[in-house]
Structure 1
Amino acid sequence: MINFKKSILAVCITSLVLAGCAAPGGQGGQSGSVNSDTALRCAAFGVGGALLGVMVGGKGAAVKGAAVGLAACAVVEIASRQTKSSATVDEQYRSSNRNQLPQTAKIDAYTMSVTPNGVAKAGDAIRVQSSIRAISGVRDPVTEVKEQLVVYAPSGEEFKRGEKKVNDSTGSGEYENTFTLRLPDGAPQGMYKFKTQIFLNGKPASVHESSVQVAALDLPSPHMAVAAR
């Protein structure tokens, strides 16, 4: 009976939060900025997630629930472009490898960086930029190069993810891919981990990780180290 009541309450909380978020305009005739409305809806997500966490797992799950709720308001924008053609990349590879291409498709180079190089604040744009060079093999060409980003909250829980196919055509190429993450007001403070991974022709390949400190909006921005590897 207790579990049944918890389930009913959880459904009610979820419905209430979603109802509030589904009506961004509010009642007719009321005024208010879009930013204020968004902040209120994101706060509702956070509170609703925390309440659901309490219902399901007690106090320990409240923080995790709030982070999951706020993640719904986090935005990830993705943009990519080709920086070197297939012919150029193949020629450069051959010149360093006895005029031969590899037997199978491979990721020849992959770098990732995160900005700002210091403390980020909720609402600031956090950019994860990658440079990717893929080489077609003698036996199989490059058909798909996809990059995936997974962001982990300070609690260690997955907070947000995004992915994008960066190549438009088959063959070798060099690409620049950028994920731009905007955290909502009220997002948990602390160290966020950013993990990127390349999938080449559907198979997992290179991985990079980096961490960024996120501070409250009203705090100054002291120079703090960004741990990366």
Structure 2
Amino acid sequence: MKSRLLVAIIAFALVNPVAAFSLGDLKDNIDRSHKCKSNDQGCKNRERLKAAARVAAVAVAVTLITKMIINYRSERIAKEEQVAEEYKTKNQNLPAEPIATEYQTKTLPGNVVSPGQEVIIQSDIVVVPGTQQKTALIEERIAIYDNEDNTKELKNFTKPVNEKSKQGGRYQNEFSFTLPEGLPQGVYPIKTELLLNGKVVNTANNDIQLVLQVNPAGVMQLVAMR
């Protein structure tokens, strides 16, 4: 039974075009059969079965998250002149080039979510104008990584925050998305980057934990994995 399941899982990973990379790229990360004793074939078979299951889970995550839509919204909270005056009260003079003095992020409604629930990554951004360089193009990038292999980027999206004005100021930016049904549970690392005139100037981590069940008390809980 186990061998047939192993073959089925491997076949899925091989024929799924999105998952084609998985068996090769993830082998060193998730196949732990090398930890078994050299003469313990049963242990090796179990670990290889687990590895194949993890590969299949990665393939599912890649397929679902790649198709997932990320929405965005930006709003200017304070004008360039206001943040410039606030900066000068503490530093006397403005910098020669625009700088980001604040970048704070938070996950709404929280870091533990269930399938079908909207997730919002909200950022507060403050950029002070420069005296020599006037243009201050602010962008934010979001990247979602796999819950099994945290080095595997599943989806990314970059959005201009002040595309029309290209001026400093205080901005609130939001990325929103709904995790689809069928996505494997686990912790999905989410990284956001603040870009100023094309250069990354700050980063933030907003990991979310996807759970598949809610108990009678309304508390989310992980499903036991066997």
Query: For residue 5 of structure 1, what is the aligned residue in structure 2?
Result: none
- Residues in 1 aligned to 2:220 and 2:64: alpha-carbon distance in whole angstroms: 27
Aligned counterpart in structure 1 of residue 116 of structure 2, from 98, 108, 123 = 123
Shift in Å at residue 114 of structure 1?
Answer: 0.6
Task: Tell me what 1:164 maps to.
Answer: 159
Q: How does 1:187-202 map to 2 (within 5 A)?
A: 187-202=183-198
What secondary structure sits across from 1:79 in the alignment? strand
Q: CA deviation at 1:122?
A: 0.9
State whether structure 2 residue 70 is matched by structure 1 residue 76. Answer: yes
Match of 1:214 in 2: 210
Task: Answer whether contact 1:75 1:183 (CA < 8 A) is retained.
Answer: no
**Would you say the 8 A contact 2:98–2:136 is kept in 1?**
no
- Alpha-carbon distance change, 104 to 53 in structure 1, aligned in 2, over 3 angstroms: closer
Q: Which amino acid aligns with 2:219?
A: P
- In 2, the alpha carbon distance for the partners of 1:139 and 1:122 equals 48
Partner amino acid, structure 2, of 1:129: Q
The 3-state SS of whatever aligns with 2:209 is strand
2:194 partner letter = I
For the residues of structure 1 that align with 2:187 and 2:106, how far apart are their CA atoms?
16
Over 6 Å off, 4+ runs: 54-58
Pick aligned residue for 2:170 from 139, 151, 174: 174
Report deviation, 1:160.
2.2
| Residue 112 of structure 1: how far off its partner (Å) | 0.3
Counterpart for residue 107 of structure 2: 114
SS in 2 for 1:72: helix
Q: Deviation of residue 54 (structure 1)?
A: 6.2
Give the % identical residues: 26
TM-score normalised by the chain length of structure 2: 0.70
Q: Shift of residue 172 of structure 1?
A: 1.8
Q: Is the 8 A contact 2:214 2:220 kept in 1?
A: no
**Separation of aligned partners in 2, 1:96 and 1:134:** 15
* Cα distance between partner residues in 2 of 1:77 and 1:170: 21
- Structure 2: gaps (5+ residues): 1-10, 28-50, 222-226
CA deviation after TM superposition for structure 1 residue 65, in Å: 1.7
Give the counterpart letter for 2:87 in structure 1: Y
CA RMSD across the alignment: 2.7
Structure 1 unaligned regions, length at least 5: 1-8, 15-47, 225-229
84, 100, 119: which one pairs with 1:90?
84
SS at match of 1:123: coil
Q: CA deviation at 1:73?
A: 3.0
Distance across 2 between alignment mates of 1:114 and 1:105: 27
